[in-house]
């Protein structure tokens, strides 16, 4: 450390020099000035703080320069509006993207610490549920890495996705107090704050130019900005994720305060600040809670005000807005933005309605992430009218003019009008957010080819007739920085060595690996890397659950949210089938398997929680059975989150992507698995279809009914009992579940599962797909015994999934939807 002598010769004051200090020096300085510790008194967490600050310092200058460049060049910018950004940990990703990971590693090691251990001390930023939120995070990484002027807007939840623990086999939810020890990566921007109005009423004023609407008597809450830097990989660009936090507009209601009613005064303040308190943990069914609509409007209004302020600092001609601003709606959650932009333009900035509507329609685009009817957002008109009276009026007018247009195009089709109306009149008057999003956007996209086709032909078939050409596909992707480089350094180094570093910037270059699949030495090295990733995973699993896995076993992994349509139960049926074969001596040379599950159930999704419990009950029986030994093990990885995913994907052999065809919009875990050298067992659903196209049918295990066949089976009065009676192994497995074999202390525990599968119509056709799944799993087991062939196929998977880089995805959004260009600096 540099020191400066003072007059008192005993006191040496450490100084931070402004010269470029080597990283070890910076780490030591930060231990003192940021963690405020001497190295003798330091804890591991202090080293995390010192390392975080050291890496952060390398971003400041680039961050400021990026902002300056955007300001000077005034390019068209894209704003990604999302209620969720599932970022995970930042430290290693930032070091990697900034290109200083080796130096940080060295610096720490010179001081007696390991980067791998230091990064483990960071709490995940879990501001999302699953796929949709993680996609937003991958997109931020790709936009920054491609020098695209992109900003994320969302909510700074004080509590993110709940933390899951498993107690006696059951999911327990614990609060995720992720900000407890501070957040190194955020910067409060008190100067960026906006008032957000709620409630109140609308009064109409006649003026010479027509009626003006005024939103009056509204309550007000403040949105305060917190910025997080998003460093691009191998570029100077550092973009911004701006998250809004709610703050009461006034400290207390002074009237209550002066009356001595302190509690009441604080209560009101809390009610406002609750808006950004917690992420809603349900990812597939929507409940019409007022607080959720408040969250949506709160962050949308703050973001639109911020976007318009930035625009107005450079322009005074509103018609230019669509040349400078593209806003992407991540599902319908921020769809109220369509009405908010109209409100801002018409009521606040006094544009004429028609002009404002023309502009609005050129600014927005909407991404749909689901076809599931229970996940389509609608709001009761009464609730809406109470919270956002002016916006409901705006929506009525948008709807009125839209229905006129439809009636003009398709005269007299009143059924059509009622089907496409923003207001659903059949279920007690509700606002359909997807319709608002479609009508207010110039482009709507699905997230995989099959999904987009289903949008055009089913959910949005009417709209596709009304607005031909509006509906397009952009297949999802994942960032290779986190999902290869960072999580699988062994494989990354190997690829670097054999094909050079070009794939880091263009993942399609992985095709260069294809030829090496035929090289026995390469296959051996590839297997050694997989093996060491499996050992690392097994070690963690043993630490977390006490279950010891044999790394020679086939690691068969299903990690994703727990949902009936994703069919974790089908996987369980396979496990029980294997178990029965082993017990009855029919599986002498069966391939040893370790089946690993991970994922959270929405706290109110009772059946999903029961599925978790069943998996753990089955695990308890199977793992303890001495007749089974290493042949079959079942484990539940508790609290599946981004940092856990980084360990699980590289350690997987088999990727379970087994949703009923037509239900999973895309899936992105399927891509992460293949990129890390797992083979897929999957249905022709979501992006699996495109993975099949890329890797070839010999390198993937496809089973089950197709989307068309699913529709056909359902149309022909599907009867699950026929399958039950027609397949002895299936019957036996189901009988064991419902008969209490896995819940001896409570034999009826799994009745509801029997009900869902047999008496309630088996909505997701598990029984119809069972035989095909089992037969395909048998093939998987057989292939695994031929390690040369298995690794040949695994290598071909890695080589051929370059398409699924989110850089490719973002390139398509930039060209086909946003019309934004890469910035040069
Ligand atoms: C809506 C209203 C109220 C409360 C919660 C919600 C809500 C929150 C999150 C509804 C849905 C979600 C998340 C959906 C999601 O993650 N969808 C997934 O998106 C991925 C990225 O496109 C796809 O790969 C997956 O197939 C899709 O399931």
Model pLDDT for residues 392-442, shown as the tens digit of each residue: 999 999 999 999 999 999 999 999 999 999 999 998 999 999 999 999 999
How much is the pLDDT for 11? 47
How much is the pLDDT for 256? 75
How much is the pLDDT for 374? 86
Residue 130 CA to ligand 1 centre (angstroms)? 7
* 111 class by beta-carbon count within 10 Å (0-12 exposed, 13-18 middle, 19+ buried): middle
- Nearest atom, ligand 1, residue 367 CA: 22
d(CA 793, CA 798) in angstroms, rounded, equals: 9
Q: Is residue 769 part of a domain?
A: yes
Q: Is residue 498 part of a domain?
A: no
Has residue 250 got a pLDDT over 80? Answer: no
Has residue 119 got a pLDDT over 80? Answer: yes
Token pair of 77, please?
């910018």
Among the three residues 421, 441, 461, which one is the final residue of a domain in this structure? 441
Q: Is residue 620 part of a domain?
A: yes
CA torsion 677-679-683-684 (nearest 10°) is 60
How much is the pLDDT for 18? 41
pTM, two decimal places: 0.97
Task: Give the mean pLDDT of 580-606.
Answer: 97
How much is the pLDDT for 187? 98
Neighbours of 768 (CB within 10 A): 21
Model confidence at 195, in pLDDT bands (50, 70, 90)? very high
Verify whether residue 560 is a known catalytic residue: yes
Among the three residues 381, 414, 441, which one is the final residue of a domain in this structure? 441
Pocket test for ligand 1, best of 370, 430, 688 (most atoms within 8 A of CB): 370
Task: Give the mean pLDDT of 184-194.
Answer: 97
Q: Is residue 42 part of a domain?
A: no
Query: Is the distance from the beta carbon of residue 131 to the nearest atom of ligand 1 less than 6 Å?
Result: yes
Q: Is residue 692 part of a domain?
A: yes
Q: Is residue 476 part of a domain?
A: no
Has residue 13 got a pLDDT over 50? Answer: no
How much is the pLDDT for 825? 66
Q: Tens digit of pLDDT for each residue in 533-571?
A: 999 999 999 999 999 999 999 999 999 999 999 999 999
How much is the pLDDT for 447? 98
Q: Is residue 614 part of a domain?
A: yes
Q: State the DSSP string of 495-551.
A: HHHHH-GGGGT-GGGGGGGGGGGG-HHHHHHHHHHHHHHHHHHHHHHHHHHS----T
How much is the pLDDT for 348? 97
Number of domains composing the chain: 2
Query: Is the distance from the beta carbon of residue 137 to the nearest atom of ligand 1 less than 6 Å?
Result: no
Residue 132 CA to ligand 1 centre (angstroms)? 5
Has residue 181 got a pLDDT over 70? Answer: yes
Has residue 21 got a pLDDT over 80? Answer: no
Same domain, 437 and 534: no
Has residue 180 got a pLDDT over 80? Answer: yes
How much is the pLDDT for 54? 97
From the candidates 391, 456, 470, 566, give the one annotated as an active-site residue.
566
Model confidence at 283, in pLDDT bands (50, 70, 90)? confident
Q: Which residues of 363-377 are buried (b: 16+ CB within 10 A; e: fewer)?
A: bbbbbbbbbeeebbb
Has residue 815 got a pLDDT over 80? Answer: yes
Q: Tens digit of pLDDT for each residue in 725-779?
A: 999 999 999 999 999 999 999 999 999 999 999 999 999 999 999 999 999 999 9
Same domain, 395 and 269: yes
How much is the pLDDT for 285? 73
Verify whether residue 369 is a known catalytic residue: yes
Verify whether residue 561 is a known catalytic residue: yes
Has residue 257 got a pLDDT over 90? Answer: no
How much is the pLDDT for 288? 74
Same domain, 288 and 403: yes
Same domain, 80 and 219: yes
Report the candidate in 173, 169, 137 with the shortest Cα–Cα distance to residue 601.
173
How much is the pLDDT for 8? 52
Same domain, 292 and 391: yes
How much is the pLDDT for 3? 45
Token pair of 763, please?
């909505």
d(CA 642, CA 479) in angstroms, rounded, equals: 13
Q: Tens digit of pLDDT for each residue in 317-355?
A: 999 999 999 999 999 999 999 999 999 999 999 999 999
CB 296 within 8 A of CB 245: no
How much is the pLDDT for 252? 64
CATH number of the domain residue 374 falls in: 3.40.50.2000
> Between these two residues, 15 and 115, which has the higher pLDDT value?
115
Instruction: Say how many residues make up the chain.
Output: 825
Q: Is residue 53 part of a domain?
A: no
Same domain, 785 and 676: yes
Residue-averaged pLDDT of the chain? 95
> Between these two residues, 9 and 664, which has the higher pLDDT value?
664
CB 154 within 8 A of CB 244: yes
Among the three residues 441, 457, 472, which one is the final residue of a domain in this structure? 441
For 330, the domain range is: 74-89+124-441
């Amino acid at each position: 450390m540099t020191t400066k002598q003072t007059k008192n010769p005993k006191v040496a004051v450490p100084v931070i020099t402004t010269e470029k200090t080597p990283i070890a020096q910076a780490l030591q300085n930060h231990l003192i000035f940021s963690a405020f510790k001497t190295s003798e008194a330091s804890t591991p967490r202090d080293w995390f703080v010192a390392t975080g600050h050291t890496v952060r310092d390398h971003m400041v200058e680039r961050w400021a320069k990026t902002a300056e460049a955007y300001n000077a060049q005034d390019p068209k910018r894209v704003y990604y509006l999302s209620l969720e950004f599932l970022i995970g940990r930042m430290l290693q990703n930032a070091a990697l993207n900034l290109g200083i990971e080796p130096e940080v590693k060295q610096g720490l090691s010179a001081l007696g610490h390991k980067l791998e251990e230091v990064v483990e001390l960071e709490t995940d930023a879990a501001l999302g549920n699953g796929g949709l939120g993680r996609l937003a995070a991958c997109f931020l990484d790709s936009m920054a890495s491609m020098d695209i002027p992109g900003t994320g807007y969302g909510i700074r939840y004080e509590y993110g996705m709940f933390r899951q623990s498993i107690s006696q086999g059951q999911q327990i939810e614990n609060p995720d107090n992720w900000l407890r020890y501070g957040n190194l990566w955020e910067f409060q921007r008190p100067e960026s704050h906006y008032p957000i109005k709620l409630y109140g009423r609308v009064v109409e004023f006649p003026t010479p130019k027509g009626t003006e609407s005024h939103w009056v008597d509204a309550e007000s809450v403040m949105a305060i900005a917190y910025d997080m830097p998003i460093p691009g990989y191998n570029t100077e660009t550092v973009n911004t994720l701006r998250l809004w936090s709610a703050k009461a507009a006034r400290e207390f209601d002074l009237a209550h305060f002066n009356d001595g009613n302190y509690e009441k005064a604080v209560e009101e303040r809390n009610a406002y600040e609750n808006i950004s308190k917690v992420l809603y943990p349900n990812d597939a069914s929507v409940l019409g809670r007022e607080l959720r609509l408040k969250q949506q409007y709160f962050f949308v209004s703050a973001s639109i005000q911020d976007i318009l302020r930035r625009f107005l600092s450079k322009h005074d001609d509103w018609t230019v807005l669509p040349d400078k601003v593209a806003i992407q709606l991540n599902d319908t959650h921020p769809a109220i933005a369509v009405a908010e932009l109209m409100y801002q333009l018409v009521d606040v900035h006094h544009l004429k309605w028609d002009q404002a509507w023309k502009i609005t329609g050129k600014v927005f685009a909407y991404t749909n992430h689901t076809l599931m009817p229970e996940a389509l957002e609608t709001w009761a008109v009464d609730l809406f009218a109470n919270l956002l009276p002016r916006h409901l009026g705006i929506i009525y007018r948008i709807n009125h003019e839209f229905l006129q247009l439809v009636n003009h195009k398709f005269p007299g089709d009143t059924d059509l009008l009622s089907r496409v109306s923003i207001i659903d009149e059949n279920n007690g008057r509700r606002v359909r957010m997807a319709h608002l999003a479609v009508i207010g956007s110039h482009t709507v996209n699905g997230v995989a080819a099959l999904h987009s086709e289903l949008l055009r032909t089913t959910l949005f078939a009417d709209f596709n007739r009304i607005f031909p050409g509006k509906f397009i596909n952009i297949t999802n992707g994942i960032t290779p920085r986190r999902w290869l480089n960072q999580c699988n350094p062994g494989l990354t180094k190997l690829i670097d060595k054999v094909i050079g570093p070009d794939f880091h910037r263009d993942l399609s270059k992985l095709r260069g690996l294809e030829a090496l699949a035929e090289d026995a030495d390469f296959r051996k090295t590839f297997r050694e890397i997989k093996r060491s990733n499996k050992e690392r995973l097994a070690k963690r699993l043993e630490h977390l659950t006490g279950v010891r896995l044999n790394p020679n076993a086939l690691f068969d992994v299903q990690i994703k949210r727990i949902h009936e349509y994703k069919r974790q139960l089908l996987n369980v049926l396979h496990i029980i089938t294997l178990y029965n074969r082993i017990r009855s001596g029919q599986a002498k040379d069966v391939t040893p398997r370790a089946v690993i599950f991970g994922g959270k159930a929405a706290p109110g999704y009772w059946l999903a929680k029961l599925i978790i419990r069943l998996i753990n009950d089955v695990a308890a029986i199977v793992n303890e059975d001495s007749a089974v030994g290493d042949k079959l093990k079942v484990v539940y990885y508790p609290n599946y989150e981004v940092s856990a995913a980084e360990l699980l994907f590289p350690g997987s052999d088999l990727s379970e992507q087994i949703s009923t065809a037509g239900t999973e919009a895309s899936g992105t875990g399927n891509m992460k698995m293949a990129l890390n050298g797992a083979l897929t067992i999957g249905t022709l659903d979501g992006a699996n279809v495109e993975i099949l196209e890329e890797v070839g049918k010999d390198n993937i295990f496809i089973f089950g009914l197709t989307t068309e066949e699913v529709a056909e089976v359902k149309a022909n009065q599907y009867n699950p009992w026929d399958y039950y009676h027609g397949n002895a192994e299936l019957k036996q497995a189901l009988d064991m579940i419902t008969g209490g074999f896995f819940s001896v202390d409570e034999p009826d525990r799994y009745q509801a599962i029997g009900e869902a599968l047999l008496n309630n119509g088996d909505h997701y056709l598990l029984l119809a797909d069972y035989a095909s799944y089992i037969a395909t799993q048998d093939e998987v087991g057989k292939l695994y015994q031929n390690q040369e062939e298995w690794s040949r196929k695994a290598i071909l998977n890695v080589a051929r999934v370059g398409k699924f880089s989110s850089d490719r995805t973002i390139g398509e959004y930039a060209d086909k939807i946003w019309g934004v260009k890469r910035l040069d600096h």
